[in-house]
A = this chain, B = another copy of it.
Amino acid sequence: MEDPKHLEIVTHLKDHLIVSSELENVVALFKTLGDVTRVRIILALAESTLSVTELTEVLDLNQSTVSHQLSLLKQQNLVKGTRNGKNIHYELSDRHIMTIVDQVKAHVSEHGRN
């Protein structure tokens, strides 16, 4: 409290930091990206559109696991699938996501944890 402005800032901070629904959405998106399987799926789809079976093979995962995680990724509008006969082609719904991932990559490498 050496800075006289500090107390004032802190006093009013509580009112400004309302728990917005936006906060919930932001956190939900981060949470979705906070899983190795899901990020691997995203990175794979960043390379090429893939069906569930292809994802299963390429990432060496259970089909059920892939479907479950794709479902969560869809809920967050991170991927979208379009049916093509028996298969469903999944792709990133938005290139924006790769920007975010790259941003985080940059942060990680800046701190030399890899």
Contacts and interface: CB of A to CB of B under 8 A. Distances in A.
Interface of A: 6, 9-10, 13-14, 16-17, 19-36, 39-40, 43-44, 47-50, 54, 57-60, 77, 94, 96-97, 99-101, 103-111, 113-114
Contacts of A94: 107, 110
Contact of A26 (B39, B50, B99): B39
Given A27-B34, A30-B34, 19 more contacts: A9-B48, A10-B57, A13-B44, A13-B47, A17-B58, A19-B40, A20-B114, A21-B114, A22-B105, A22-B108, A23-B39, A23-B43, A26-B101, A27-B36, A29-B104, A29-B108, A30-B33, A33-B34, A100-B107
A95 to B, nearest CB: 11
- Please tell me how many copies of the chain the complex holds: 2
25 contacts: A6-B48, A6-B49, A14-B59, A17-B58, A17-B59, A22-B105, A22-B108, A22-B114, A23-B39, A23-B40, A23-B43, A26-B105, A26-B108, A28-B34, A29-B104, A30-B31, A30-B33, A30-B34, A31-B31, A31-B34, A31-B35, A77-B113, A96-B103, A96-B107, A103-B103
